[in-house]
Amino acid sequence: MTAFLECGRYRFALEGPESRPLVMGILNITPDSFSDGGKYMALPAAMEQAERMIREGVDIIDIGAESTRPGIEPVSLQEELDRVMPVVEALKDCGKALSIDTYKPEVMTAVLAAGADMINDIAGFCQEASIRAVAQSRCGLCVMHMQGEPKTMQVAPQYHDVTCEVTVFLEGQVNRLEAAGVARERICIDPGFGFGKTLDHNLALFQHIGQMRQALQLPLLVGVSRKSMIAAITGKDVSGRLAGNLGAALSAVAHGAAIIRVHEVGETVDALKVWCATR
Ligand code: 9MG
């Protein structure tokens, strides 16, 4: 396992007494995300939400300007840039690592030039241009697995062995990135819960978090906050999923996850503090 995650201006310990699970807070600056669409579109509202996450103990702020919920149409490059750049400019000196959730290489180049610390690519850096956009920088990378694309990915996801196929994909992309000069210390992997996966696929992947981490020897990020997986297990609508989200976060770290991507930062930070103190 790498001892650190190098993330632009930040370095996170993954082993030893200083290490603890990291919390990535979600900042959706979209009109149409499934649980908070439209809430943080205006710059002051986005800043306020970021400041709240900082007060609550966030480690990485993940800014997304294009919704990735199932069935959604993609936004244009210009629209994404118009949404994301002012927020990156406004938050770049906020004292926390800034991650940008994008699969567009042009957006990657622009946000890295503006000071972003991490690129979270739901397409797992499949495009050569995406690899070129990040290779020469010092940014952290989240390499995520997705089957298909957001518009159709939940129509009929199929695998022979979901854990094996996701692991092989992630390993291949990590190898491509390393061949392009990206240090392993900059990479974390993500099975992509809900991205072209049924509940059974998600549960199988969850139970094999430790195995995937072991196979790739890289930190693993889990993002299930407010997703349909939590709804399917608890029967709760989006406003009633907090307890389910926290249960999933604790289970993920118990399985070996290093980073948890969440909407409710304060509650997750507290739950993880108690988990760490009592494990
Ligand atoms: C943008 N986005 C939505 N869900 C996600 C997840 O599970 N992981 C990552 N890395 N990004 C996500």
Q: 257: which 2 tokens?
A: 């996850």
The residue among 69 and 163 whose pLDDT is bigger is 163
Beta strands in 66-212 (DSSP E): 97-101, 118-121, 140-144, 187-190
28 lines ligand 1 (CB under 6 A): no
Distance CA 227, CA 245 (A): 9
> Which atom of ligand 1 has the smallest separation from the CA of 227?
4
* Residue whose CA is at the smallest distance from ligand 1 atom 7: 223
- Does the annotation count 236 as an active-site position? no
Task: Give the distance (Å) from ligand 1 centre to CA of residue 15.
Answer: 24
- Give mean pLDDT, residues 75-97: 96
221 lines ligand 1 (CB under 6 A): yes
Q: Is the pTM of this model over 0.85?
A: yes
User: Residue 150 pLDDT > 90, yes or no?
Assistant: no
Q: Is 118 helix (H, G, I), strand (E, B) or coil?
A: strand
Listed in sequence order, the residues at least 6 apart from 243 whose beta carbon sits closer than 8 Å to its beta carbon are 234
Distance CA 24, CA 59 (A): 6
* Ligand 1 binding pocket mutation candidate from 99, 120, 125, 187 (most atoms within 8 A of CB): 120
Task: Compute, in degrees rounded to 10, the torsion defined by CA atoms 205, 210, 216, 217.
Answer: 150
229 lines ligand 1 (CB under 6 A): no
A 10 A CB-CB count for 208 gives: 20
Contact 94, 60 (CB under 8 A): no
Tens of pLDDT along 182-241? 999 999 999 999 999 999 999 999 999 999 999 999 999 999 999 999 999 999 998 899
- Does the annotation count 227 as an active-site position? yes
* Residue whose CA is at the smallest distance from ligand 1 atom 11: 122
HEC string of 23-50 equals EEEEEECCCCCCCCCCCCCCHHHHHHHH
Task: Give the distance (Å) from ligand 1 centre to CA of residue 223.
Answer: 5
193 lines ligand 1 (CB under 6 A): yes
140 lines ligand 1 (CB under 6 A): no
